[in-house]
Structure 1
Amino acid sequence: MINKKIFLFASVLSLFIFSCQDLVDKQEASAQKKYTLWYEKPASHFEESLVLGNGKMGASIFGGVQVDSIYLNDATLWSGEPVNPNMNPNAHEYIDDVRKVLEDEEYQKADELIKNIQGSYSQSFAPLGTLFFEYDHDEHKSENYRRSLNISDATSEVSYQIDGVNYVREYFISHPDNVMVINLKSDALGKLNFTADFSSLLKFTTTVNEPIQKTDGYAPYRCEPNYSSNIENPVRFDDCRGIHFSNYVKINNTDGKVSFEGSKLILSEGSFAQILVSVATSFNGFDKDPVKEGKPYKEIAQRQLDNASKKAYKQLLSDHLDDHHALFNRLTFQLQEIDTLNLPTNKRLIRYSKGKQDKGLEELYFHFGRYLLIASSRTPGVPANLQGIWNPYLRPPWSSNYTTNINVEENYWLAEVANLSECHFPLLSWIENLEETGKITAPTFYGARGWTVGHNSDIWAMSNPVGDFGNGHPVWANWNMGGAWLSTHLWEHYLYNQNLDFLKQKAYPLMKGAALFCIDMMVKDKKGNWVTSPSTSPENMYVTSTGYRGATLYGATSDLAIVREVFNNTIRAAEILDTDLAFQNELKERLNELHPYQISKKGGHLLEWYHDWDDDDPQHRHQSHLFGLYPGHHISPERTPELAEAAKKTLNIKGDKSTGWSQGWRINLWARLKDGKRAYKLYRELLNYVDPTGLEANNSNAGGTYPNLFDAHPPFQIDGNFGGAAGVMEMIVQSTEKSIHLLPAIPDTWQKGKLHGVKARGGFELTFSWENKKVTNLTIFSKNGGKTIVHCNGETYEVSLKENQTIQIIA
C-alpha cells in the first residue's frame, strides 16, 4: 500500500524551512571531499597526461622531470572558415527519386541515388602547440616523484627530489583571468634552471623579448578527415585564410636571471618562478571570416597577459578557486565518507578491472566527468567536441568534430542533472548557429521547411549531409535527424530551469523549426501511416529477405522515435506558451498517424527497421532505435511495458561489450529499465583499464578507461566519460516534468550514500541520503516554485513549493 502525503506548503505541516538556501549550500560545500588523480611517474602518452581547462583554453600536462611537455589547445582554434550551406544547390531534386525507388522496394538503387544528396566533410579541431620546459636536471636521480590533478580545485602539481633539493610545480588555468598559471619552486637558492620553448604542427613564428615569448600562427583553411586517404594535399595552409592564434608566455615573477636565446626563454639561478600563458584566436563567430572579420587575437593575448601580470600569484589562485568551486561544489555525491585506498590512480584502475571493490574510484570517475564538463564547456557557441578541448593531432580521430547522431548530445546528458546548466549553454547557443545554416540546408538538400543538421558539424555550424559529394557511404553520411535530436536539449534545459523567457524567445522557435523539418521529411506508407523517407539508422545496416545489405530505407525506428519526442516536446511547449493552436493540432494528428513501434516476431526485440529484417551486425555499437527509452521519455516500464520489454531484449542481444560511449549510453538505458544490477555491471566495465601503449592484452575494441581516466572508445573520446557520469545520476534520480523517482535503479553494492544539489525536471534541487537502499532524509528546493510528485521508499509525496522555498520531507 502506498501512503500519500500531501504537502501544500511547508508551513502548513510544520516542516523544516530553510530561509537561506545559500547557507545550506555553503555548509555542504565546506564538507566536500577532495578528489585527486595521482601517479608515481611522468606521462609517456597523451592518455596518461593530466588535463586542465577553463572552458576555452586546455592543457595536457606530462610532468617529465627533465623535459615537461604541455600540450595546449583553444576551443576556438579549428581548421576552416565559414561554410557555404548552399554547396550542392541541386541536391533536393533527388529526394523524390529516392522516395520512388524506396516505394518500389529497390533498396540498392536508393543507396546509390541518395549519394547525390551529400556535401563536404566538416572541419577539424586543431592542436595549438606544445610548450616545453627543459630543466637542468638528471632525471635518473629523481626521487619521491608524484604527479597529481586535484579536480576539486582544478589544479595540478608535480613534485620530486634531486640531490636533496625539493622541486614543486603547480599549474592551473584561470577562467576569470583567461591565463594558464605555472608556479615553479625549489627549496634551495639557485637550483631552478630551465629553458622554455614552443613548437606546433600549425604554421607559426616565435620571437622573444625578455621576459616574454610570443608565438603567432594560423591553422589550416582546409583539413580533410583522417579517414580520407585519397585526397591530394589533405591539409592546406594560407596565411591569408583560416583562424589565426597567439600564444604568449611570460616569466612574471622570479628571483632568477631571465634571458633568451633565439626563440627560447631562459631562467637561471632561481628558486622560484611564476609563469603566465595567454592564448587567443581570431575566431569571431561561425559566420565571420577569421581574417577579414576576425578578433584582434594578438591584442587580446597581450591584454590578458598584462591584466594577469598585475595580480600576485595568491590572488590569481584565489580567484580561480572561487570560480571553480562555485560550479564544482554545487553537487556532492558520496558512497563512503572516507577513501582509505591510497593507491596511484592507474593502479586503482588495474585493481578495479580485476574485480576488486572501490567505491572511491567510482565516486572519482563520476566527479571527473563533472570536472571535464566545467573545464571544456564554457565558451558560447562552442560546445565540447569529441575530445572535449584536448587534442594533440593535426588530423585527429573523426576530426575531433561534433558528431550529432549521439556523441555531442551525450556530452551534455550530465549538464542539467549535475547542476551545471551554465555549461550547457555552449551547446544551446551553438544550436542557434546551426539553425542559421540549417534553414538553408533544409530546402537545398531536402526541399523541406524548418532547419536540420547532418551527421557531422564543426565550429562553423556546418549543417549539410557529409560524404564529400557522393563518396560517403549512406550508412553514416546521409543521416538527417541531427537538428531534431539537438532540439530536445532546448526542452530539457527548460524542464530543469523553468525559464519561460528562454522557452519563448530561444527554445520554442528552434523546436518548431526542427518539427517542421520532420513534417516535411515524412510520406504516407502503404498502410496510410506517416514514415520518414529517405531514412537511415545511424551507422547500422539491415539485411533484406533477399540478402541485400543496405542502409537507406523508409521509416527507420530511430527517426520515428526522435520525431515522437520532438513533436511531444513542441506540443507541450506551445501549450505552456499558449500559442500556435493550429500547429499543435497538426502535430497531434501526425503523432496519431505515425507508423507504430514494431516488435520482432522472430526475437521479440524492438525492430530497428520498418520491416522485420535482420541486423547486419546484431551487436552494433549504436542503439538509436531505443531513443524513446533514453534520452527520450515516451518508452518506460510503467507506461509502455511491452515496448520496454522489447527494448530489454534488444539490449540483451547487443550484449554489454562495446565502445566507451556506447557503454555509457547502455548504462542509462538499463537504468531507465530499473535494472540497477545491469547498469552497475556496465559502469564497472566502462572503468576497465586500457593501457595506452596498445601492448596489453586487455586493450581491445571494447571501451574502457585510460590511466588518466579518459574514456577509451578506443581511441580517446570524451563522450564515454560524460555518458558514464550521467548514468550514475540516472541510477539514483529519475525525473519527468511532473514526477521524481529516487533510487529507481540503485545497485546492491551502493547500499549507502549521499547526494546533495542534484537537479530534477520541474525546476527542483534535491539533497538526500540513503541507507540499506532506503532514503533516510530528503529536502527539496525550488527557485521558481512548483509542484511535483516524489516517489521513494514505496511511498508517494505530493509536493508544492513557493518561490525560493526549501522543505524537508523525510527527516
Structure 2
Amino acid sequence: MDRRTVLAGSGAAVVAGQLALGAAAAAAEPGYDANLRNDPGPGNDPSLRNGLDPRNDLGPRNDLTLWYDEPGTDWESQALPIGNGILGASILGDPAADAIVLNEKTLWTGGPGSPGYDFGNWRTPRPGAVAQVQRAIDERERVPPEEVAAVLGQSRVGYGSYQSLGTLTLATTPGPVESYRRELDLSTAVARTRYVANGIRYTREYFVSHPDQVLVVRLAADRPGAVDVAVSLTVPEGRTAATTVSRGRLTVSGALDDNGLRHETQIQVVTRGGTRTDEAAGVTVSGADSVLVIVAAGTDYSDRYPTYRGPDPHPRITRTLQAALHRQDQLRDAHIRDHRALFDRVRLDLGRRPADRPTDELLAAYQGDDPALETLFFQYGRYLLIASSRAGTPLPANLQGVWNPYAAAPWSADYHVNINLQMNYWPAYATNLSETTTPLHDFVHALRAPGAVTAREMFGASGWVVHNETNPFGFTGVHDWPTAFWFPEAAAWIARHLYEHYLYTLDQTFLRERAYPVLRDVARFWLDELHTDPRDGRLVVSPSYSPEHGDFSAGASMSQQIVLDLFTSVSHAAGVVGDGRFKKEVQAALQRLDPGTRIGSWGQLQEWKGDWDDPADDHRHVSHLFALHPGRQITPSGTPALAAAAEVSLRARGDGGTGWSKAWKINFWARLHDGDHAHLMLSEQLRTSTLSNLWDTHPPFQIDGNFGATAGVAEMLLQSHAGELHILPALPTAWPEGRVTGLRARGDLTVDITWADGAATELTVRAGHGGPVTVRSSLVPGGLHTFTARAGGTYSWKGSS
C-alpha cells in the first residue's frame, strides 16, 4: 500500500498543511521524526542505541537508571518524574491505561481573584501588636506561640495551593503482558516503558524538553500496524475546561474557579501509518506503526506585582506546539544534548557497579552497604533539580519540585522558607548546576515589592521581609499555624543564596545588579527592627522563634546566626561594590549584635539565648546549628569549642526525624568532619525515608530531602566555606576508593578528586578567576598549601604510587 495514501487518510497530511512545511508529499513521507524512519523495532531504533539489547529486557542500561519490572500503581511511591523546569509528568507505565499526571508549575489557586483575598488581611496586625509581644518577652523571657499568635493575628485567606494540570491517558488493549520493564535514565532524562504482548514488543518513550518546552511521548512496536491507542486528557474539578478536537489536536482550556487563572493544554497526535480519528473527548489511533504525542501547556500567571497576571496563554502555547511539530526530527536529540550539558558536569564513582536488580529491590535490600545505590541517589538529586528548576522558566522548585497529582497538595506544595526552599538549592552550586538557580533569584526579586509592604505595615520598617511560608502571589505575611507562623528571618536566609552565587562565580556584575540590592534591603529591615535586649544591651531579634519548636523569646540562636550571616555578607558585598557608608552602618550593628552561639550547661550549643535545652529533646528541627550549616560561623578548625558543642546538640537530637531532617544531618556531620556519621545519616535516609522511586518522604513525599542528601554527599567530598579547598573532609570508611569530577568550590574553582585506601591520590583544580587558592589535602606540601592561580589555569597533584 502507498504510504502517502495511508498518511493522508489518517489526517497527517492535513497536519502537514497546517504546519506549512512546504510540499505535501514531503510532509507525507516517513520523515516527521528522524527516529521513526525505517523503524523495524527497538533493536534498530536510533532512540534506543544506548539502551538494552532488544532480545533481553533484564539488567540496567547504565549505572544511572532507575528501573522496575512492574507497572506503577501508587503515584507517590512509584511514579517516575520527568520535567523541564515548568512542565512535569509522572510515569506509571500501565500498558492498558498509561495515566500520566501532568503539571505546570504556575497553576495555583489563591492570590488575586481568590475569594476573600486582600493584601492587608495577609500582612497587618493591629497597631502596636509587635511592640506588645516584645514587651511581654522583655518581662517574661518566654511566651507561648499560641499567645503570640492571638496578639499578632493570623490569616491565610486566599493563600491557595499548587494544582495538577490533568491526566493524559494512553489507553490500549494489549492482552497478557510479558517481559515488562519501566525505567528512567538519569543521564538522558528519558523514561521508557517496554513490554511484550501477543508476541509483539512495544516501546513507549517519554521526555520533557527544555529547549522546545513540550512533553513528548512516542509509542512504537516491532511489527508494522501494531500500535492502537486512544489519547485523552482529564482535568480535576474546580475549573472550567472546554475541550476541542480537530485534525489530531486536542485542546483543553479554561480558568480556575477560585481565582480565574487561565490554563490551556494542547496535545497533538501524529501517526505513522494506520488511521487517526478525532473523537469528542480525544484522539483514537488504529493500526499505526508508531505514534508521537506532543504536549504544550501554560497559564496566564505572571510574577508582576500586584496583579500576577499576564497575557492569555493560547497564542504562546500554539506557537510552542507548532514549533515543536516543525522540529519533530530534532526534539529528542536537542533534549538530550541540553540535559547532558548540565548533568554530565559531575561524575561520581564510588567503586561499585549496581547489582542486576530492579531499583525497588535494591532499596528494600539496602543496609548501608551499597555505594552504587548511594551514587544513584546522589545523581538523582541533581537530575530532579534540573527537571524542576531551569533558567527561563517561572518559579523555583517547590515542596514537590514540579510534580503533584492533587488539587489540595500537602502543605499546598508551596515555598516553606524556614529551610525547605533553601534546601532545594543546596546542591546547585557545589554540584555544578548554577543555572538552575535563576528561577530562585527571580522569585526572591519578585518578593521584594510585596515584602516591602509587609515590612512597612507589620513592623514600621524599611527594606523587605517574608515569613515562614510563601506562594507565587507575594504572600509575605503570617499564616494560620501558631507553632510555625513567624519567621521574618526567612528573607535573610533566602537572600544568602544570591550571595553564594557570587562566592561561587565571582561575578561582580551579578553582585552589583542582582545580589547586593537584595542583601542591602533585607539588612535595612533588620537595622530598623533589631531590639535592644534589656538583659545585656545587645541587639537581638524579638519576637524570635526557633522554627516550629518551643516558645517565643528574644535572640533565639537561629535568628541571631542568620542576621549575623546576613550582616557579614552584606558588609563584604558593600565593600566590593563601593558602598562604604552602608558598610559602616552594618559593621556598627555587627559590633552590638548578639552572635547567637553559646555553650550551655550540659555542653550543648544553646537553641535559645536562655539555657533551656532539654537533652532528651529529639525534635526534627536542629535550627540552632545554622551557624554550622549552611552558615559558616562554626568550623572544627576555627571554633573548636563551638564545633564540639554543636556535636553534643546533634547527638542529643538523635539520628531520627523526617526525611529532610536526616538530609540536613548529613550536612551537619560532614561539616564536623565525621564522615562515618554523615554516611550513617545517608543510609538512614535511604532505609527509612525514601520511597521506591527514590523520592524523599517526610512523610508524605517532599523533595527537599533529595536535594539535601545530594548536597550532603558533596560536602563529604569537598568543602570551601572556610576559605580553603578542603579535600575529602568527611570521607566515610564505606567509600575507601572512588573518583569525583566537576565539583565546584567557592572562588570559581572546579575540582576533580581520585582516592584509594581512604586517601586522595590525585587532585586537579581548575581556576576560572585568578587569585590566591588554599588547598587542604595530604597531597599538597605540608597538608595545607596556598598558591596564586591564574584565570583559566589548571593545577594538579598526584600521590606517589
TM-score tier by shorter-chain length is 0.7 to 0.9
Q: SS at the partner of 2:101?
A: strand
Q: SS at the partner of 2:128?
A: helix
Cα distance, 1:242–1:288 mapped onto 2, change above 3 Å = farther
> What 5-or-longer segments of structure 2 have no aligned partner?
1-60
Which whole-Å CA distance do the structure 2 matches of 1:305 and 1:380 have between them?
17
Cα distance, 1:71–1:715 mapped onto 2, change above 3 Å = same
Which whole-Å CA distance do the structure 1 matches of 2:563 and 2:678 have between them?
27
Which whole-Å CA distance do the structure 1 matches of 2:714 and 2:64 have between them?
18
Q: CA deviation at 1:119?
A: 4.7
Alignment of 1:672 onto 2:686: no
Per the alignment, residue 610 of structure 1 pairs with 609
Q: Which amino acid is 2:381 matched to?
A: G
Q: CA deviation at 1:328?
A: 0.5
Contact 1:98–1:114 under 8 Å retained in 2: no
Task: Give matches, 1:637-648, under 5 Å.
Answer: 637-648=636-647
Q: CA deviation at 1:809?
A: 3.4
Alignment of 1:41 onto 2:29: no
Per the alignment, residue 567 of structure 2 pairs with 567
Per the alignment, residue 324 of structure 2 pairs with 308
Task: Give matches, 1:135-154, under 5 Å.
Answer: 135-138=172-175, 141-154=176-189
> What is the TM-score normalised by the length of structure 1?
0.86
Q: CA deviation at 1:770?
A: 1.1
Cα distance, 1:89–1:706 mapped onto 2, change above 3 Å = closer
Alignment of 1:322 onto 2:359: no
Per the alignment, residue 425 of structure 2 pairs with 412
Alignment of 1:339 onto 2:328: no
Which whole-Å CA distance do the structure 1 matches of 2:785 and 2:118 have between them?
54
Which whole-Å CA distance do the structure 2 matches of 1:356 and 1:435 have between them?
44
Which whole-Å CA distance do the structure 2 matches of 1:365 and 1:173 have between them?
21
Contact 1:189–1:271 under 8 Å retained in 2: yes
Alignment of 1:215 onto 2:215: no
Number of equivalenced pairs:
724
Cα distance, 1:557–1:69 mapped onto 2, change above 3 Å = same
> What 5-or-longer segments of structure 1 have no aligned partner?
1-31, 220-236, 542-550, 689-702
Which whole-Å CA distance do the structure 1 matches of 2:436 and 2:624 have between them?
28
Cα distance, 1:765–1:294 mapped onto 2, change above 3 Å = same
Q: CA deviation at 1:311?
A: 2.0
Deviations 1:377-415 (A, max 9, x none): 015451000000000111111000000000000000000
Which whole-Å CA distance do the structure 2 matches of 1:85 and 1:761 have between them?
39
Contact 1:621–1:659 under 8 Å retained in 2: yes
Which whole-Å CA distance do the structure 2 matches of 1:36 and 1:295 have between them?
40
Q: CA deviation at 1:190?
A: 2.6
Per the alignment, residue 439 of structure 2 pairs with 426
Q: CA deviation at 1:602?
A: 3.7
Which whole-Å CA distance do the structure 1 matches of 2:769 and 2:62 have between them?
30
Per the alignment, residue 532 of structure 1 pairs with 541
Per the alignment, residue 360 of structure 1 pairs with 372
Deviations 1:331-371 (A, max 9, x none): 111112x625111000000110xx26211111100000000
Which whole-Å CA distance do the structure 2 matches of 1:71 and 1:214 have between them?
17
Which whole-Å CA distance do the structure 2 matches of 1:284 and 1:596 have between them?
40
Which whole-Å CA distance do the structure 1 matches of 2:695 and 2:576 have between them?
41
Q: SS at the partner of 2:277?
A: strand
Contact 1:244–1:282 under 8 Å retained in 2: yes
Deviations 1:121-175 (A, max 9, x none): 233111101011110222xx10000000001000001000011111000111111
Task: Give matches, 1:319-718, under 5 Å.
Answer: 319-336=334-351, 339-352=353-366, 355=367, 357-378=369-390, 379-467=392-480, 472-473=481-482, 475-525=483-533, 526-541=535-550, 551-580=551-580, 582-597=581-596, 599=598, 601-615=600-614, 618-688=617-687, 704-718=689-703
Instruction: Name which of 251, 269, 274 aligns with 2:269.
Output: 251
Contact 1:91–1:444 under 8 Å retained in 2: no
Contact 2:558–2:596 under 8 Å retained in 1: no
Cα distance, 1:328–1:160 mapped onto 2, change above 3 Å = same
Contact 1:118–1:478 under 8 Å retained in 2: no
Contact 1:780–1:808 under 8 Å retained in 2: yes
Q: Which amino acid is 1:530 matched to?
A: L
Q: SS at the partner of 1:520?
A: helix
Q: CA deviation at 1:603?
A: 2.1
Q: After alignment, is 168-177 or 210-219 more displaced?
A: 210-219
Per the alignment, residue 758 of structure 1 pairs with 743
Which whole-Å CA distance do the structure 2 matches of 1:174 and 1:666 have between them?
35
Identity %: 36
Q: After alignment, is 258-267 or 623-632 more displaced?
A: 258-267
Per the alignment, residue 263 of structure 1 pairs with 281
Q: Which amino acid is 2:701 matched to?
A: F
Contact 2:369–2:734 under 8 Å retained in 1: no
> What is the TM-score normalised by the length of structure 2?
0.88
Q: CA deviation at 1:85?
A: 4.2
Per the alignment, residue 82 of structure 2 pairs with 52
Cα distance, 1:212–1:103 mapped onto 2, change above 3 Å = same
Deviations 1:164-208 (A, max 9, x none): 111000111111111111111111233211111111114222221
Q: Which amino acid is 2:559 matched to?
A: D
Alignment of 1:161 onto 2:196: yes
Q: Which has the higher contact order (CA 8 A, sep 6+)?
A: 1
Which whole-Å CA distance do the structure 2 matches of 1:109 and 1:186 have between them?
65
Deviations 1:770-806 (A, max 9, x none): 1122222222112232321010116122132222222
Cα distance, 1:115–1:507 mapped onto 2, change above 3 Å = farther
Which whole-Å CA distance do the structure 1 matches of 2:520 and 2:769 have between them?
25
Provide the alpha-carbon RMSD of the alignment: 1.9
Cα distance, 1:33–1:766 mapped onto 2, change above 3 Å = farther
Q: SS at the partner of 2:785?
A: strand
